[in-house]
Amino acid sequence: MEKKIKVLVTDDQQALAMELKSVLETDEDLEVVGIALDGFDALNKMSKTAVDVVLLDIRMPNMNGVVATQRIKAEYPNTKVVILTTFDDSDYILNAINNGASGYLLKDIGGDALISAVKNAYAGDTILPAKIARHITDAAKFVAADREIKLTRAFGFSDREVEIALMMYEGFTNRQISAALKLSEGTTRNYVSSIYVKTNSDNRNEAIKAIRAVL
């Protein structure tokens, strides 16, 4: 690799940050350009030097990893953020990735795997170990079930109407809904009309607004 990947290690435990730096610098393709102790420190250092990948602890004082991820991706959209932590809570995982993180690693990761993860994140891959992926799947199922229950209680939707209402909320057109659910467009229109009635709406925008209010 001609260009070295510039990495910023961000962790409020300086001894661990130094250890990570030492591991990463055993690879000739990586260059650790700095160590930051929290999100503010990371952003300050990024304003002064180019960074390709930020390794970011999620539990830090002053500005935690979720907020820092959001700020970094807003100001430096091409920089990859990899969350590194011992804390494998589903809410943190989902929040970090929803805010633009390229992946999530636990701090007990081996040196070779850490180096590979940084390179893969730089290449555009999403870094999710199996344990983390299971957490996300479980959390996503819970969120989906919760949304379905809310819509059913609020509007008395059938299972199919819930499915279509959520797709409308996500921005799917009738044609896209028909294709995804293998329904005729006429059948989809009938379901959408029923959703209008049950949400007391005159059009799609009003229906989506009613759905959003419940979710």
With 0-12 / 13-18 / 19 or more C-beta atoms within 10 angstroms meaning exposed / middle / buried, residue 32 is buried
Report how far residue 103's alpha carbon sits from residue 58's, in angstroms, rounded to the nearest whole number: 12
Query: How many domains are contained in the chain?
Result: 2
Residues 195 and 162 in one domain: yes
Task: Specify the pLDDT at position 151.
Answer: 93
Residues 52 and 122 in one domain: yes
CA 31 to chain centre: 26
Report how far residue 22's alpha carbon sits from residue 41's, in angstroms, rounded to the nearest whole number: 20
Q: Which of 96, 128, 160 is the last residue of a domain?
A: 128
Residue range 121-140, pLDDT digits in tens: 999 988 877 766 676 666 66
Q: Classify residue 10: in a domain, yes or no.
A: yes
pLDDT at 88 over 70: no
Report how far residue 4's alpha carbon sits from residue 1's, in angstroms, rounded to the nearest whole number: 7
Both tokens of 188, joined, read 């989809």
Residues 13 and 83 in one domain: yes
Both tokens of 215, joined, read 């979710």
Q: Classify residue 137: in a domain, yes or no.
A: no
CA–CA–CA angle 58, 82, 88 (5° rounding):
45
Residues 96 and 152 in one domain: no
Non-local (6+) Cβ contacts of 170 within 8 A are none
What HEC string does 101-127 produce? CCEEEECCCCHHHHHHHHHHHHCCCCE
Residues 114 and 33 in one domain: yes
Residue range 91-122, pLDDT digits in tens: 666 677 778 888 888 888 899 999 999 999 99
Residues 121 and 151 in one domain: no
CA-nearest of 122, 133, 124, 85 to 105 is 85
The CATH number of the domain where 122 resides is what?
3.40.50.2300
Kindly state the greatest CA–CA separation across the chain.
64
Residue range 136-194, pLDDT digits in tens: 666 666 666 788 889 999 999 999 999 999 999 888 889 889 988 889 999 999 999 99
Both tokens of 141, joined, read 């199922």
Structural domain containing residue 186: 143-214
Identify the band that residue 33 occupies on the pLDDT scale cut at 50, 70 and 90. very high
Residues 49 and 108 in one domain: yes
Q: Classify residue 134: in a domain, yes or no.
A: no
Positive or negative, the CA dihedral 14, 120, 136, 134 is negative
Residues 161 and 192 in one domain: yes
Non-local (6+) Cβ contacts of 168 within 8 A are 177, 192, 195, 204, 207, 208, 211
Coil/strand/helix, residue 31: strand
Task: Specify the pLDDT at position 59.
Answer: 84
